[in-house]
Amino acid sequence: MKRFIAALTVTMMFTFGTFGGSGLAQPVEGYKNAGQGYETAFDQRIINRINVDNIYNNIEYLQQTPRVAATEEEYAAVQYIKSEFESYGYEAEVQPFEFFGFTAPHTVELSVNGDHLNPLSFTYTPSGEVTGNLKYVGLGRVVDLEGKNLDGKIALIQRGEISFGDKVLNAANAGAEGVIIFNNTTGNLNGTLGQANDKYVPAVSITQAQGNALVTQLDQGEVVTASLTVLGAESSMRTSHNVIASKKPTNKNKDNGQVVTVTSHHDSVPGSPGANDNASGTAMVLELARVMKNMPTDTELRFITFGAEELGLIGSRYYVNNLPEKELDRIVANFNLDMVGSQDAGDLVMRTVNGQSNLVTDLAQASSLRLNGEPTPFGQGGSSDHVPFGEKGISAALFIHSPLEPWYHTPEDTIDKISKEKLEDVAQIVGIAVYDYASFDNQGPKPKKQKVHNLPADMYHEVSIR
């Protein structure tokens, strides 16, 4: 579909060139007169400047290794992004921020009376090797543990009612040296203890069937001995970085005082080269910064790549939360690019925090209508760095292809799955939308404050807390 539309667009431009003499359709007032499925000469300024090979090559460079937040590899990417901004003539700021991080264990083992189970660990479990007799303590509430001495034992606890973190603390307070929590539904239990705590003991999860079998054995009076091993888990303070490059308005006298942000995250999940997630968005932010550098604008354009997105939007939250109120009020739009180039994903969509249209979706629908003959659709969605902006009432949208590609968060997220055609499409839609607003002769919609809409805090995590 997109391929066909792109070809059609080129044909129409050619037709205009043949008949119009000027070679291009005349500029229109913003996008008000648009919707004919062809670009304006105004748009053409951006289209002509975007070089998709620059985006592709930067993805190829960045995806050589995973870029997990606060690792050397992420920092190398930060330095590269900074140097790229500088090569376009920007001054780039590297903004450090600290967070409490967890490294998942490399070894998680559990054997019960010699049988090997396949447990999962909990986020924020400490490492340790423990052997002891199992003691079943129900849901692991304070009342379940009252008067019980679990010294030297491993607590067997059922999921439910209170958080995993509280279950582990209650058992540890009663003397347990390790904790096994079994699911209360089918499937694996992938959980988090919520935050690190020195009082935690090593904790793993098993399935409901495995847990019930152990409870039955214990009920029959059997002595069940378990050996629990968690190695390589580590919780500590870490430092990640955002990279910020700003293009001030061309003419100080025509500064409208507003800021449009174009953002991405540069970190990846462990084990994934993150070509699409999110070297693609990062390379596109870089290219749009290069394209816009010498364009005449009355709006500040701020290009930012964030760290530690994959750990819960930490970099973007830090950025937004540390802006003075006055500075925050100047930001009228956030175009957030996350996963914008996979050949194996679906079509481009926009996601806003509250599911409503806003300045960003209005601008991008207008530009995509002109480019592709149909507006890019939008809907509600979180899970990326537009959320902290949207929650502050700023018009913000995530640009992403839906459905996601099968390589998402896997070692297969590599450069060979990247489509230049998709990259070019998104870069043009966003580039034109941004320029539409930031250029001197913008006739488009004015920014409006969104209603602040709080999302459930744990929607960025795939793991449960209880």
User: What kind and span of H or E run contains 421?
Assistant: helix 420-438
Report the residue number, 278 or 305, with the smaller CB distance to Zn ion: 278
Report the residue number, 31 or 408, with the smaller CB distance to Zn ion: 408
Among 277, 287, 300, 436, binds Zn ion (CB under 5 A): 277
Q: Report 144-203 residues binding Zn ion (CB under 5 A).
A: none
Site map (CB under 5 A) of Zn ion, residues 223-262, x = contact? ----------------------------------------
Contacting residues for 163 by C-beta, under 8 A, at least 6 apart: 193, 194, 465, 466
Q: What whole-number distance in Å separates Cα of residue 258 and Cα of residue 332?
A: 6
Taking the complex as a whole, the smallest distance from the CB of residue 427 to Zn ion amounts, in Å, to 17
Report the residue number, 277 or 300, with the smaller CB distance to Zn ion: 277
Taking the complex as a whole, the smallest distance from the CB of residue 222 to Zn ion amounts, in Å, to 48
Report the residue number, 159 or 422, with the smaller CB distance to Zn ion: 422
Among 84, 267, 338, 413, binds Zn ion (CB under 5 A): 338
User: In this chain, which stretch among 276-284, 298-306, 322-330, 389-397 interacts with Zn ion, using CB under 5 A?
Assistant: 276-284
Report the residue number, 42 or 306, with the smaller CB distance to Zn ion: 306
Give the amino acid at 58.
N
Question: Using a CB cutoff of 8 Å and minimum separation of 24, what contacts does 45-48 make?
Answer: 45/295, 45/435, 46/291, 46/295, 46/428, 46/431, 46/432, 46/435, 47/428, 47/431, 47/432
Report the residue number, 210 or 305, with the smaller CB distance to Zn ion: 305
Burial of 77 (0-12, 13-18, 19+ CB in 10 A): buried
User: In this chain, which stretch among 96-104, 336-344, 420-428, 436-444 interacts with Zn ion, using CB under 5 A?
Assistant: 336-344
User: In this chain, which stretch among 246-254, 330-338, 347-355, 440-448 interacts with Zn ion, using CB under 5 A?
Assistant: 330-338
Question: Can you tell me whether residue 54 is helix, strand or coil?
Answer: helix
Taking the complex as a whole, the smallest distance from the CB of residue 123 to Zn ion amounts, in Å, to 19
Q: State the maximum Cα–Cα separation within the chain, in Å, rounded to a whole number.
A: 93
User: In this chain, which stretch among 102-110, 333-341, 359-367, 446-454 interacts with Zn ion, using CB under 5 A?
Assistant: 333-341
Q: What whole-number distance in Å separates Cα of residue 427 and Cα of residue 414?
A: 20
Cα angle 355, 345, 306 (rounded to 5 degrees) comes to 65
| DSSP code, position 280 | I
Taking the complex as a whole, the smallest distance from the CB of residue 318 to Zn ion amounts, in Å, to 17
User: What kind and span of H or E run contains 162?
Assistant: none
Q: What whole-number distance in Å separates Cα of residue 111 and Cα of residue 173?
A: 24
Taking the complex as a whole, the smallest distance from the CB of residue 358 to Zn ion amounts, in Å, to 21
User: In this chain, which stretch among 86-94, 231-239, 335-343, 408-416 interacts with Zn ion, using CB under 5 A?
Assistant: 335-343
What is the CB neighbour count within 10 angstroms for residue 98? 12
Taking the complex as a whole, the smallest distance from the CB of residue 80 to Zn ion amounts, in Å, to 18
Q: What whole-number distance in Å separates Cα of residue 317 and Cα of residue 308?
A: 10
Taking the complex as a whole, the smallest distance from the CB of residue 78 to Zn ion amounts, in Å, to 16
Taking the complex as a whole, the smallest distance from the CB of residue 277 to Zn ion amounts, in Å, to 4
How many residues bind Zn ion (CB under 5 A)? The answer is: 3
Asked if 58 touches Zn ion (CB under 5 A), the answer is no
User: In Å, what is the CA distance from 284 to each residue of 50, 418, 424?
Assistant: 10, 13, 9
Among 71, 192, 278, 336, binds Zn ion (CB under 5 A): 278
* Beta strands across the sheet bearing 300-306: 92-103, 234-247, 300-306, 259-265, 331-337, 395-402, 347-352, 378-380
User: In this chain, which stretch among 141-149, 314-322, 323-331, 332-340 interacts with Zn ion, using CB under 5 A?
Assistant: 332-340
Taking the complex as a whole, the smallest distance from the CB of residue 354 to Zn ion amounts, in Å, to 21
Closest CA to 367 of 128, 69, 101, 9: 9
Helix pair angle (281-292, 420-438), 10° resolution: 40
Taking the complex as a whole, the smallest distance from the CB of residue 466 to Zn ion amounts, in Å, to 26
Binding site for Zn ion (CB under 5 A): 277-278, 338
